[in-house]
C-alpha cells in the first residue's frame, strides 16, 4: 500500500507532515477553480474573480465538509470523535464530506457574488462541473488512506483493506481474512461517474450553447450528481442509516438534490411555475467589476473578419453596426450626383413649352 505521508520533518518543536490527502484535495480545488475560470471567461465575465472568491469559499467549504463528516460519523454510531473531540481538527487524517463542502462553500460563494454584484447563475453554471472534477481528482486520496470502501466482493477489481482500517462489521479477521478479503472501491466508482458527468455537461454546454438558459447546467448537475451519489450509497456500509432501514442520510440528501434539480429544469423550460423563480433571466447579466452592469450578451456571432480589431463591447454589437454602416453607404451612393462630362455638356436641356391657350367656343 502507499504510505499516506509523503515526507515529514521537525522544525524546532513543530512536526511538519505532508500527506497525500492534503496534496490531492488542494490539487482538486485548484484544477476545479482553473476549469471554472475558463468557463466564466467563455460566458463573458471576468474569470479572475473566482480566485478572489476561493479565498472565502475554500476554507469555509473545508470546515463544512469536516463538520458534515463528523456529524455523519456520530450518527452512524461511532464514538471516536466524541471520545477524542480534539481530533475533529485533524483534517489531514482524512474525513471530508462532499455535501458539507457544497453547502457551506456554496453559501459563502453566493454571499461573495451578491456582495460584488455578480450574476449568481453564471457562476453556478460554470462551477457545477468544476466541483465534480475537483472531487474526482481528490478521490485517490481515499484509496491511500484506505477509507470509503464498500462491502466485500469477489470482483477482480476489489481492493484489500488492512485490519486497522476496517470498519466494525468487517473487523472479524477470521470471517474476513486480510489475505483473501477484497472490498468494493466505492471511491473509484464515484470518481469514474464524476468524470463522465463532467464530460457530459461539457459536451452539453458546447452542443447547445445558443439554447441553454441561465441555470440549466447547474440544474442538470444537481440531477446527475444527486442520482450518481444515490447509487453509490448502496455500496457504502460506513454511512449512517435512518433507523433500521437501508436508506442512509446521505442517500436521502442525494435524492432530494436530484429532485430539486429536476424541478429547476421544469421551471427553466416553462413546464411549471415556482414563485421563488419568477423573473428568471433569459440571458446572463454580465457585469464588469467597478462599472455598471452590462447588457445581456447577444447570441448573434460577430463577423470573423472584424473580431481581431474589436474590443468585447464592439464584438457583441458587430452585426448591428455592420448592417447600419452598409445601409448608410448605400444611401449616400444613391444620392450622389455623377460628375458632368463633355458629352452631357454638349446636349441642350429641353425647355418645357407653355401650353397653348384654349380657344373660346363659338356660337
* CB distance 236 to 248 below 8 Å: yes
pLDDT digits 0-9 by tens, 60-117 = 998 999 998 888 888 877 788 888 888 888 877 767 888 888 899 999 999 999 998 8
Is pLDDT of 304 > 50?
A: no
- The C-alpha atoms of residue 286 and residue 49 are separated, in whole angstroms, by 13
pLDDT at 355: 53
Using the predicted structure, report yes or no on whether residue 291 has a pLDDT greater than 70: no
pLDDT, tens only, 10-30:
888 888 888 898 899 899 999
Kindly tell me the number of DSSP H helices and DSSP E strands found in the chain.
13, 2
Q: Is the Cα torsion angle 311, 314, 319, 323 positive or negative in sign? A: negative
Beta bridge partner(s), residue 52: none
Whether the pLDDT of residue 286 is over 60: the answer is yes
Residues in the chain: 363
CA nearest neighbour of 32 among 142, 110, 140, 132: 132
User: How far is the first Cα of the chain from the last one, in angstroms, to the nearest whole number?
Assistant: 135
Q: What is the CA radius of gyration of the chain?
A: 33
Q: Does residue 68 contact residue 24 with C-beta atoms inside 8 Å?
A: no
- From CA 230, how far away is CA 224, in angstroms rounded? 10
Q: Is the pLDDT of residue 361 over 90?
A: no
Give the pLDDT of residue 288: 52
Does the structure show a pLDDT above 50 at 322? no
Give yes or no for residue 339 having a pLDDT over 70: no
| 135-146: pLDDT as tens digits | 999 999 999 999
Cβ–Cβ under 8 Å, residues 64 and 103: yes
Element (H, E) at 16: strand 14-19
Q: Taking 50 as the threshold, does the pLDDT of residue 346 lie above it? A: no
256 vs 88: which has the higher pLDDT? 256
Is the model's pLDDT at 160 over the cut of 80? yes
* pLDDT higher than threshold 50 for residue 123: yes
* Higher-confidence position of 278 and 204: 204
The CA distance from 140 to 232, in Å, is: 16
Q: How far apart are CA 262 and CA 269, in angstroms?
A: 11
From the list 271, 283, 33, the residue with the least C-alpha distance to 137 is: 33
Considering only the C-alpha atoms of the chain, give the largest distance between any 2 of them, rounded to a whole number of Å. 146
pTM for this prediction = 0.73
C-alpha cell at 213: 438558459
Predicted pLDDT of residue 310: 52
How much of the chain exceeds pLDDT 70, in percent?
79
Mean pLDDT calculated for residue range 307-321: 48
Q: Give the residue-averaged pLDDT of 286-297.
A: 51
Which range, 261-265, 277-281, 290-294, 334-338, is most confident? 261-265
Return the C-alpha cell found at 190. 464515484
Average pLDDT over every residue of 237-247: 85
Amino acid at each position: 500500500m502507499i504510505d499516506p505521508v509523503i515526507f515529514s520533518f521537525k522544525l524546532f518543536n513543530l512536526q511538519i507532515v505532508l500527506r497525500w490527502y492534503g496534496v490531492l484535495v488542494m490539487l482538486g480545488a485548484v484544477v476545479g477553480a482553473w476549469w471554472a475560470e475558463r468557463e466564466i471567461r467563455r460566458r463573458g465575465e471576468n474569470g479572475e474573480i473566482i480566485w478572489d472568491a476561493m479565498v472565502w469559499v475554500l476554507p469555509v467549504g473545508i470546515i463544512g465538509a469536516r463538520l458534515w463528516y463528523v456529524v455523519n460519523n456520530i450518527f452512524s454510531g461511532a464514538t471516536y470523535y466524541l471520545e477524542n473531540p480534539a481530533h475533529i481538527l485533524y483534517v489531514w487524517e482524512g474525513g471530508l464530506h462532499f455535501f458539507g463542502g457544497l453547502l457551506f462553500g456554496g453559501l459563502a460563494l453566493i454571499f461573495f457574488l451578491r456582495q460584488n454584484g455578480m450574476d449568481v447563475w453564471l457562476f453556478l453554471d460554470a462551477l457545477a462541473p468544476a466541483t465534480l472534477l475537483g472531487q474526482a481528482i481528490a478521490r485517490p486520496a481515499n484509496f491511500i488512506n484506505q477509507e470509503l470502501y464498500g462491502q466485500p466482493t469477489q470482483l477482480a477489481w476489489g481492493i484489500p483493506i488492512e485490519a486497522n482500517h476496517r470498519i466494525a462489521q468487517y473487523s472479524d479477521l477470521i470471517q474476513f481474512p486480510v489475505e483473501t478479503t477484497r472490498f468494493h472501491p466505492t471511491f473509484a466508482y464515484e470518481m469514474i461517474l464524476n468524470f463522465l458527468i463532467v464530460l457530459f455537461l461539457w459536451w452539453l454546454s458546447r452542443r447547445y450553447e445558443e439554447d441553454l438558459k441561465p441555470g440549466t447546467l447547474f440544474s442538470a448537475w444537481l440531477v446527475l450528481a444527486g442520482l450518481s451519489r444515490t447509487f453509490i450509497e448502496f455500496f457504502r456500509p460506513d454511512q449512517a442509516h435512518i433507523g433500521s432501514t437501508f436508506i442512509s442520510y446521505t442517500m436521502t440528501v442525494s435524492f432530494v438534490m436530484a429532485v430539486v434539480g429536476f424541478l429547476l429544469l421544469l421551471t427553466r423550460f416553462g413546464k411549471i411555475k415556482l414563485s421563488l423563480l419568477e423573473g428568471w433571466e433569459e440571458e446572463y447579466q454580465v457585469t464588469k467589476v467597478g462599472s455598471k452592469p452590462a447588457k445581456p450578451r447577444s447570441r448573434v456571432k460577430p463577423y470573423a473578419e472584424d473580431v481581431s480589431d474589436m474590443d468585447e463591447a464592439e464584438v457583441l454589437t458587430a452585426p448591428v453596426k455592420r448592417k447600419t454602416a452598409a445601409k448608410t453607404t448605400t444611401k449616400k451612393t444613391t444620392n450622389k450626383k455623377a460628375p458632368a462630362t463633355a458629352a452631357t455638356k454638349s446636349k441642350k436641356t429641353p425647355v418645357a413649352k407653355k401650353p397653348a391657350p384654349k380657344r373660346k367656343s363659338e356660337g
